[in-house]
């Protein structure tokens, strides 16, 4: 069964610095995808970045990059040059090709300090 683990309940980062949010996963399906979503205090779920299990390169989207280490089953999110608006909950999620359902980790609350 697929499983997603986020071990950091909360993190602080200074504005303009980079921060890494950890995510580890477990699956027996060779074809899967990893997602990161942002949930600000307003409550909506905002898609940030996607990494497929067969992708050779780490995914990047603007200030977001995904540090994908397949052998270690980790998919950490790196946010560069943090902004005050980055303060939010961040969820790692995994999809398996065999089931197509998206399962979420417990989330990390990020607070950006001015």
Partner 1 sequence: DAGVIQSPRHEVTEMGQEVTLRCKPISGHDYLFWYRQTMMRGLELLIYFNNNVPIDDSGMPEDRFSAKMPNASFSTLKIQPSEPRDSAVYFCASSRTGNYGYTFGSGTRLTVV
Distance of closest approach, residue 21 Cβ to partner 1, in angstroms: 15
Q: Is 7 in the site for partner 1 (CB under 8 A)?
A: no
Q: Is 37 exposed, middle or buried (0-12, 13-18, 19+ CB in 10 A)?
A: buried
Residue from 25, 36, 90, 91 binding partner 1 (CB under 8 A): 91
- Per residue, what are the HEC states of 79-106? ECCCCHHHCEEEEEEEEECCCCCEEECC
Give CA–CA dist 98/94, Å, rounded.
Answer: 12
Site for partner 1 in 34-53 (CB under 8 A): 35, 37, 43-45, 47, 50, 52
Distance of closest approach, residue 72 Cβ to partner 1, in angstroms: 22
Residues that bind partner 1 (CB under 8 A): 33, 35, 37, 43-45, 47, 50, 52, 91, 95, 99-107
């Amino acid at each position: 069964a697929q499983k997603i683990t986020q071990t950091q309940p909360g993190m602080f980062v200074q504005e303009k610095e980079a921060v890494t949010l950890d995510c580890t996963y477990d699956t027996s399906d060779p074809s899967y995808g990893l997602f990161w979503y942002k949930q600000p205090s307003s409550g909506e779920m905002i898609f940030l970045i996607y990494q497929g299990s067969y992708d050779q390169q780490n995914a990047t989207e603007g200030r977001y990059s995904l540090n994908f280490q397949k052998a270690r089953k980790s998919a950490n999110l790196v946010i560069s040059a943090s902004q005050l608006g980055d303060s939010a909950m961040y969820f790692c999620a995994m999809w398996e090709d065999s089931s197509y359902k998206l399962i979420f980790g417990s989330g990390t609350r990020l607070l950006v300090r001015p």
